Chain A
């Protein structure tokens, strides 16, 4: 008995010793990494001279966080995880009952999204911020995230279903945004007319991109689509007579609800409803608009997956040569995938233009394409639910950084968390990819079944070769 106790005690001290050792290593590594990034800072003073600031305190905090984090990880988190894994392995025979929540996840999520604006408005009013206080939550969180959800769902058709790696997706977003911005300012057409027009124009550009890249696969396809995205952006910058170049197009007409405008005029929305004037109504309207567009995207995607064309997309991702041997025209199949993906990107783009009231080429840089692609990959290619979760985590996460004012207490008053957005974005991606290499939802839902619908494990699906 005493023997056993002593071995567990020695194992405990071993673990602590190992944790301490690894903590010191982690501290040293982070010291090496951050000594130039964080420890030293260069600023310009009023005479345009470069001044070197030393921030040893901040550096010390970084190092301590890394060391303590590693210690906690090795000493407590890893053993706990191992215990849980062992317990799970023992209880493997027990069939996991699907909870009500996981079964109806998408319905609950839609219900929540529909109720989101009233909940936020009521919460803000009851907390004394007034309806204006809800602006931030509806616009920055709700609308912003939903735009990315729609973009990622659109790109999912190209990357997740058809397996064609597209690094220039933001080009279609730009085409949609500029279609609305230019056609409404030059011809005065309304948003509701231009929404499908923007979608169609983007789909055409999707085909235009599709034709030259039909023969390309994998890396080559990625490079050409990347170039295509840059070409569109450079055209927008340099075709100054039409697009006004880097100044962008401003004063874009707002959307109307059955002809009712959201402004302070006599027949504006607020006046008609007898409510006090507030810009929040327009934001809430936009929220429902983008929610509707997202649901349309999801509906069409789900429906299309069960159509022969959707199956052909997935078959194309799995094996292109086998597709040809079954009499599938891979040219039209690829082009429809590009066109469908581009169409949703374009519709999202015109929504973006109407929401901002201003578009400039700066909104359509490569980074946007990368973020959208990252959301698709993190969510699990092909899975709408996974992608929506990834968009909430990634875009919502970076937005919430602005709210984390308490970090200033830790890192000093000059600390601006937004500047670390990309660092945290990258960190989150690494963590998710280690934890779930196939994204949040790695399994694939079959489109047809004979007896029971079984999800296909991610280890069987392929990523596509372009």
Chain B
């Protein structure tokens, strides 16, 4: 109940507003007039069958694609607003404070785990080193900033339980640890919105449980809002506050996990129900829901 009320108050404050987003690749309309909102402090999940356009939405939000149409507004805690579709890719992380991870892990595999996290703090350190000039001359301000950067990295390494492997090359880590490292690295950019592209892909149940805990603690401790794409329903249903379902580039459902779980259109999309049977499915669901209500 308490959770519900917080959700209600959060709803007033969207952090990311996607409006009428469309993305066309040649003749293919990968995303068609897609709108949704992610709320501050919430975990929003974007789900859908393979090829539904989830990663395309992510790439539009994080600037790797320029959308054909639509508006993506990022509203920061300070009240500052950024139109993400107009920013070049790196400025989305630098100024708008949106960080992302990738479906196929992208590590700096030849650099150590610690170095990976220091690279993520590039812009902050660049300023502190006076764009390298002051740092080259050995100014103490840079040394101080470098120490702080290391402390922040250490903090996230502890959170992601990677602290024992801090000095090992990132490429040497097992798969699950690399996933966690990618999240820790994204968090080192100090984002307000963290976009995770299938963070639980390829993880075993224990690892994906640990991931759930990591994401929950990120949300609680830093107040970072999370937007994630996920196929693993145990992750989606357990941690997300809000689920958006995408099929063939269009939104088919939007609401809290329970609502989405029972939405006949979602079931149809996932299980492939024929059009004539949709009516039946809806009736069935209504019956089940009515029965539940009765026992309660």
Residues of chain A touching chain B, judged by Cβ–Cβ distance below 8 Å, are 300, 303-304, 307-309, 311-312, 314-315, 317-319, 321-330, 336, 444, 446-454, 456-457, 459-462
6 interchain residue pairs of minimum CB distance: A461-B110, A327-B93, A327-B94, A460-B171, A318-B108, A322-B106
Q: How far is the CA of A195 from the CA of B263 in the complex (A)?
A: 73
A321 to B197: give the CA distance in the assembly, Å: 14
Bound CA span A325–B91, Å: 9
- Give 1 or 0 for each of B88-130: 1 = CB within 8 Å of chain A CB: 0111111000011110001111111011001111110110010
Chain B residues, Cβ within 8 Å of A319: 106-108
11 A–B pairs (Cβ distance < 8 Å), ordered by A? A308-B122, A309-B131, A312-B122, A318-B108, A321-B64, A326-B90, A326-B99, A327-B122, A328-B119, A450-B163, A460-B170
Indicate which residue in B115, B172, B189 contacts A311 across the interface (CB closer than 8 Å): B115
A309→B111 contact, CB < 8 A: no
A304 to B126, CA, bound (A): 12
Knowing A309-B126, A318-B109, A327-B93, the reply to whether A304 touches B168 (Cβ < 8 A) is no
Residues of A within 8 A of B109 (CB): 318, 460-462
Distance between A309 CB and nearest chain B CB, rounded to angstroms: 5
Contact B122 A326 (CB under 8 A): yes
A300-B136 CB under 8 A given contacts A318-B108, A450-B150, A460-B109:
yes
| B132 engages A308 (CB within 8 Å) | yes
Q: Is B154 an interface residue (CB 8 A)?
A: yes
Report the bound CA distance from A321 to B171 in whole Å.
Answer: 17
Residues of A within 8 A of B13 (CB): none
Q: How far is the CA of A454 from the CA of B167 in the complex (A)?
A: 7
B153-170 CB contacts (< 8 Å) to partner A: 154, 157, 163, 166-170
Known: A311-B122, A449-B112, A456-B110. A325 touches B100 (CB 8 A): yes
Decide if B251 is an interface residue (CB 8 Å cutoff). no
Q: Which residues from B are CB-within-8-Å of A457?
A: 169
List residues of chain B with CB within 8 A of the CB of A451. 166-167
Kindly report which residue of chain A lies nearest to residue B154, judged by CB atoms.
A450
CB distance from B139 to the nearest CB of A (A): 12
Say whether A308 contacts B106, CB under 8 Å.
Answer: no
A300-B136, A326-B120, A460-B172 known; A314-B108 Cβ under 8 A? yes
Confirm or deny: B185 has a beta carbon within 8 angstroms of a beta carbon on chain A: yes
- A450-B122 CB under 8 A given contacts A322-B106, A326-B93, A462-B109: no
Task: Give which listed residue, A300, A315, A326, contacts B111 with CB less than 8 A.
Answer: A315
CB distance from A111 to the nearest CB of B (A): 24
Q: Which of the four size classes fits the interface of chain B? A: 35 or more
Q: Is the CB of A303 within 8 A of B136?
A: yes
Partner of A462, one of B101, B110, B189: B110
User: Which residue in chain B gives the minimum CB-CB distance to A326?
Assistant: B120
Cα A330 to Cα B94 in complex, Å, equals 12
Q: How far is the CB of A308 from chain B (nearest CB, A)?
A: 4
The interface bits of chain B over 267-285 (1 if a CB of A lies within 8 angstroms of the residue's CB, else 0) are 0000000000000000000
User: Contact at A311–B89, with CB atoms within 8 Å?
Assistant: no
B229-282 CB contacts (< 8 Å) to partner A: none
Residue ranges of B at the interface with A (Cβ–Cβ < 8 Å): 62-64, 89-94, 99-102, 106-112, 114-115, 118-123, 125-126, 129, 131-132, 135-136, 142, 146, 150, 154, 157, 163, 166-172, 185-186, 189
Shortest C-beta distance, B277 to chain A (Å), equals 43
> Which of B108, B123, B166, B167: most chain A Cβ within 10 A?
B108
Number of A-B residue pairs, CB cutoff 8 Å, is 145
Contact B114 A448 (CB under 8 A): yes
Cβ A326 vs Cβ B167 within 8 A: no
Residues of chain B within 8 A (CB-CB) of A323 are 90, 119
Q: Which residues of chain A come closer than 8 Å to B89, judged between CB atoms?
A: 324-325
Which of B63, B100, B111, B136 has the largest number of chain A CB atoms within 10 A? B111
How many angstroms between the C-alpha atoms of A298 and B150 in the bound complex?
Answer: 25
A457 to B171 CA separation, bound complex (whole angstroms): 10
Task: State whether A318 and B110 are in contact (beta carbons under 8 Å apart), knowing that A312-B122, A327-B90 are contacts in the complex.
Answer: yes
- Given known contacts A307-B129, A326-B99, is B110 in contact with A314 (CB within 8 Å)? yes
Q: What residues of B have a CB within 8 angstroms of the CB of A304 in the complex?
A: 132, 136
Chain B residue at minimal CB-CB distance from A459: B171
**Which residue of the partner chain, among A314, A327, A446, A450, contacts B91 with CB atoms under 8 Å?**
A327
Report the minimum CB–CB distance from A431 to chain B (whole Å): 25
Complex: how many Å from CA A336 to CA B133? 12
How far is B94's CA from A289's CA once the two chains are assembled, in angstroms? 43
Q: Which of A336, A450, A462 has the most CB of B within 10 A?
A: A450
Smallest Cβ-Cβ distance to A312: which chain B residue = B122
17 additional contacts, CB 8 Å, given A308-B132, A322-B106, A329-B90?
A300-B136, A307-B135, A308-B118, A308-B121, A308-B125, A309-B126, A311-B111, A318-B107, A325-B106, A326-B185, A327-B122, A447-B118, A450-B163, A454-B112, A456-B169, A459-B171, A460-B110
Query: With a CB–CB cut-off of 8 A, which chain B residues contact A456?
Result: 110-112, 169
List the A side residues contacting B110 at CB < 8 Å.
314, 317-318, 444, 456, 460-462
* CA–CA, A290 and B216, complex, Å: 58
Contact of A453 among B118, B132, B146, B167 (CB under 8 A): B167
Contact between B166 and A450, CB atoms less than 8 A apart: yes
The listed residue (A312, A459, A461) touching B119 by CB distance below 8 A is A312
CB-CB under 8 A from B185, the residues of chain A are 326
A308 / chain B contacts, CB cutoff of 8 Å: 118-119, 121-122, 125-126, 129, 132, 135
- Chain B residue numbers with a CB within 8 Å of A327 are 90-94, 99, 122-123, 189
Query: Once the chains are docked, how many angstroms separate the CA of A237 from the CA of B91?
Result: 44
Which of B64, B119, B169 touches A460 (beta carbons < 8 Å)? B169
* Distance A67 CA – B7 CA, assembled complex (angstroms): 83
**A328/B122 in contact, CB under 8 A:** yes
Residue of A nearest to B93 (CB): A327
Bound form: Cα–Cα A326–B100 in Å: 8
Smallest Cβ-Cβ distance to B113: which chain A residue = A450
Q: A448-B118, A460-B110, A462-B110 are in contact. Are A328 and B90 (CB under 8 A)?
A: yes
Contact A446 B167 (CB under 8 A): yes
The distance from the CB of B130 to the nearest CB of chain A, in whole angstroms, is: 10
B219 to chain A, nearest CB (A): 20
